[in-house]
């Protein structure tokens, strides 16, 4: 298992370097610049700004300078939000987005897997049909639809939860955004669990277990569930990364100060360092979460480690 983990970890650094390199040159070579929208700037002032931020140097020099700063943990200053560095902006929004994403994934695991198991165990019954209908509905409705509906029902009509805003240390502000973000993931997890469990139930080793006289619940928990969770684990790696980094719509609907807004604002304003900082953070999260998914997959299926 250790060799398997080391092989996976060894692939993260070159992959991240490729992401940084491609993103850097794509951002810098795109038309426009961070100060193009400042119509009142004179040529001399514009030249001074370019010189101050190193934009007057060759792009290869800018690239190596940026890598040198990253090696020392420096994401650089924000070109537009002059009072903050990129690291400060990320440190402000990442805890909110990370907490929201992890809460949504935890809800997806705690709700989606039991729903999938129930649908597989009582297949072709009212329970199965009801869960399948809810799964299809959860997959079909996007967050910008379910979010306002939940806010209208539980925030406006019932007044149980706050509609929008953020207050540190108040979990009630997380309930509606987390549920909105978790609903499609719950649907996919339930669907994958049901389909995989039905396939495992048809396997030869399950027939052997039944022939030995084992009860249905012992077969489920002792033999069928672990291999059935392999597709779910494979899905949860990139799904967790998507939930933690793709919550821009949910953060906007519920007014949360997460990191999604920084990526959009940085792209609109041509804030090179802010965009690069967000890309690096998102890319690192995706790689680390996929690594965790690979390790869990290898633990569930020893054949993967041996291969």
Domain at 108, CATH number: 1.10.3720.10
Nearest residue to 98 via CA among 295, 297, 294, 284: 284
In a domain, 130, yes or no: yes
CB atoms within 10 A of CB 167: 9
**pTM, two decimal places:** 0.76
* Structural domain includes residue 108: yes
pLDDT at 115: 92
Residue 203, domain member (yes or no): yes
Q: How many domains does the chain have?
A: 1
Q: What is the pLDDT of residue 111?
A: 92
pLDDT of residue 5: 67
Closest-CA residue to 272 (of 47, 36, 39): 36
Residue 187 lies in a domain: yes
Residue 146 lies in a domain: yes
- Is 1 contained in some domain? no
CB 273 within 8 A of CB 84: no
Q: CA 194 to CA 134: how far, in whole Å? A: 13
pLDDT at position 304, please?
Answer: 55
Q: pLDDT digit of tens for each residue in the chain (307 aa)?
A: 667 667 777 778 888 888 888 888 887 777 666 665 555 666 666 666 667 666 677 788 888 888 888 888 888 777 777 777 888 888 887 888 888 888 888 998 999 999 999 988 888 889 888 988 888 888 888 777 888 888 888 888 887 888 777 777 677 888 888 888 888 889 999 999 998 888 888 888 788 878 887 777 887 887 788 888 888 887 887 788 777 765 677 877 787 777 777 777 777 777 778 888 888 888 888 888 778 777 776 666 666 554 5
Residues 6+ apart with CB under 8 A from 197: 116, 117, 120, 121, 224, 225, 228
Q: What would the two tokens of residue 213 be? A: 């006289």
Quick check: is 10 in a domain? Answer: no
State the number of CA atoms in the 13 A half-sphere of 270 facing the CB. 12
The answer as to whether 191 is a domain residue is: yes
Segments forming the whole domain that contains residue 160: 93-259+287-306
């Amino acid at each position: 298992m250790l060799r398997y983990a080391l092989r996976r970890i060894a692939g993260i650094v070159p992959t991240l370097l490729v992401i940084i390199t491609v993103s850097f040159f794509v951002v810098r070579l795109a038309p426009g610049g961070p100060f193009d929208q400042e119509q009142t700037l004179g040529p001399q002032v514009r030249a001074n700004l370019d010189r101050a931020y190193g934009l007057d140097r060759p792009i290869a020099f800018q690239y190596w300078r940026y890598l040198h700063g990253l090696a020392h943990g420096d994401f650089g200053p924000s070109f537009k939000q002059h009072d903050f560095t990129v690291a400060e902006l990320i440190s402000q929004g990442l805890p909110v987005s990370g907490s929201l994403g992890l809460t949504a994934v935890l809800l997806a695991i705690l709700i989606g897997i039991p729903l999938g198991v129930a649908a597989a165990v009582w297949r072709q019954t009212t329970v199965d049909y009801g869960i399948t209908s809810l799964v299809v509905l959860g997959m079909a409705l996007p967050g910008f639809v379910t979010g306002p509906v939940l806010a209208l029902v539980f925030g406006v009509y019932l007044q149980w939860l706050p509609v929008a805003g953020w207050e540190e240390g108040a979990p009630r502000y997380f309930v509606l955004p987390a549920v909105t973000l978790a609903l499609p993931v719950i649907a996919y997890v339930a669907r994958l669990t049901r389909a995989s469990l039905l396939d495992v139930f048809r396997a030869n080793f399950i027939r052997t277990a039944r022939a030995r006289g084992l009860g249905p619940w012992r077969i489920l928990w002792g033999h069928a569930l672990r291999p059935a969770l392999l597709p779910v684990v494979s899905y949860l790696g990139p799904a967790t990364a998507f939930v933690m980094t793709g919550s821009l719509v949910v953060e906007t609907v519920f007014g949360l100060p997460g990191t999604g807004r920084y990526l959009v604002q940085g792209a609109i304003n041509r804030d090179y360092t802010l965009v690069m900082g967000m890309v690096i953070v998102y890319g690192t999260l995706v790689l680390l979460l996929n690594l965790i998914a690979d390790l869990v997959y290898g633990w569930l299926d020893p054949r993967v480690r041996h291969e």
